[in-house]
A and B are shown apart, each in its own frame.
Chain A
């Protein structure tokens, strides 16, 4: 099956992530939204094995949030208690699950975008009248994220090889390490950005006012249908939320 137009995906991502933010307490609605986004993601061809590897870490977060919520804002049936303090409540778990779903929604939305070549995404952004410079900046920024992670890892290794045994340090010194680690990463990303901007200028990036492109995106009938479905869904969700069902 042909993938839908990237602009359709922008609309979908916009709808999904807006509702992920708007929905506050309604677990069922959030779960429904998640299910819907997973179905969409599958249809586009997101690699869920990779996603689940990331989700593993999120599960820990879920637990932490559940416990914190249970302790500081206890609600619902108490499941686990010690010295009169509720450690785990049904309300807490619900809150944790909400947070997890919200993150999951952002992740699936992001994953849907990564299914498209960068060139196509930029073209999509330009054709919804976004200035080319900004579209290009966004795509470059996204491309730098894995590189930042890589650099952070390298710096951590270099720091340890200076003879710093992180595990043995006192907490206060451990915290000071983070500033040491961030410096090379922030500095190098700033320098990268500056050099990239310069080399773009050298290649006459903005020499001509209007930039045309050989490659154009076209909406086909099935895209229109999908767009209608997404709009209908957005309207339906808004109604559900406003009526407070």
Chain B
């Protein structure tokens, strides 16, 4: 059992500054502290991904703060955040860095000084868990959408983060692979690892017994019927 990791957003305000012309989107979250498995749902463009990125330090709030275990992350480097928070991007192909599935999972460990053989053994284990053994000889960029997605999920898991932000992890997965993902996430939850799930897939969220929060126009709204 890992000691529970707590994530908290307080009075967070954020607007994309690079497009000065259309400042129609702004996000405000007064207090958000997901426990266990929390699912963010809502329309396209309602700000789910933005909130997830704020939670993982990819975007920094204009005001307010993001706290990990009570400590502000404003000064932390992204790489340090990456060691306790795993992030799955909505688009899998931009987060695959190497030509081979095995090295894709193992390289981050190797960069941390873990021996090649051990890193690859751990990578193998994850590939097996996600039923990806058959793609070991393939190149990562010719994989199918769903295979890429699963490889990307496996790769974020290898660092054993204490919290996950998963941006639409089920897109492109078939029913069987989705069920495997449900099981994998259940084992994480059993280890007291928190998950912030961004998804349009209500069934998937229910299978994880997620606490469902709805976003609309950059605000968290409480669920109505």
Q: A residues near B, CB below 8 A?
A: 151, 154-155, 157-169, 173, 177, 180-181, 183-184, 187-188, 191
Contacts and interface: CB of A to CB of B under 8 A. Distances in A.
B26 interface: no
Nearest to B108: A162
B interface, how many residues as a size bin? 20 to 34
Contacts of B159: 162-163
B155 interface: yes
Contact of A164 (B58, B85, B108, B161): B108
A168 to B, nearest CB: 7
Contacts of B78: 157, 160-161
A154 B79 CA distance: 14
Contact of B82 (A154, A163, A167, A188): A163
Interface in B98-125: 98-99, 107-108, 111-112
Interface string B49-81: 000000010100000000000000000011111
Contacts of A183: 96-99, 141
Q: Which 10 A-B pairs have the closest CB atoms?
A: A165-B79, A160-B78, A158-B95, A180-B97, A163-B82, A161-B82, A163-B83, A162-B108, A163-B159, A187-B141
B93 A163 contact: no
Contact of B95 (A155, A164, A167, A173): A155
A164 B82 contact: yes
Nearest to A153: B94
A interface majority secondary structure: helix
Contacts of B97: 155, 158-159, 180-181, 183-184
Contacts of A180: 97-98, 107
B107 A184 contact: no
A158 B98 contact: no
Interface string B141-160: 10000000000000110010
A24 to B, nearest CB: 39
17 contacts: A154-B91, A155-B94, A158-B89, A162-B82, A162-B159, A163-B79, A163-B83, A163-B112, A163-B161, A164-B108, A164-B111, A165-B80, A167-B79, A173-B111, A177-B111, A188-B93, A191-B141
A187 B96 CA distance: 10
Contacts of A163: 79, 82-83, 108, 112, 159, 161
B217 to A, nearest CB: 25
B190 to A, nearest CB: 23
Interface of B: 56, 58, 77-83, 85-87, 89, 91, 93-99, 107-108, 111-112, 141, 155-156, 159, 161
A161 B81 contact: yes
A183 B95 CA distance: 10
B107 to A, nearest CB: 7
B94 A164 contact: no
B138 to A, nearest CB: 14
Nearest to A187: B141
A173 to B, nearest CB: 6
Contacts of B93: 184, 187-188, 191
A154 B91 CA distance: 10
A87 to B, nearest CB: 33
Contacts of B58: 157, 161
B87 to A, nearest CB: 5
A180 B78 CA distance: 17
A198 B93 CA distance: 20
A164 B155 CA distance: 13
Nearest to A169: B111
Contacts of A157: 58, 78
A188 B140 CA distance: 12
B79 A168 contact: yes
A167 B108 CA distance: 14
Contacts of A155: 94-95, 97
A187 B140 CA distance: 10
Contacts of B94: 151, 154-155, 158, 184, 188
A127 to B, nearest CB: 32
A27 B107 CA distance: 49
Contact of A160 (B77, B89, B99, B155): B77
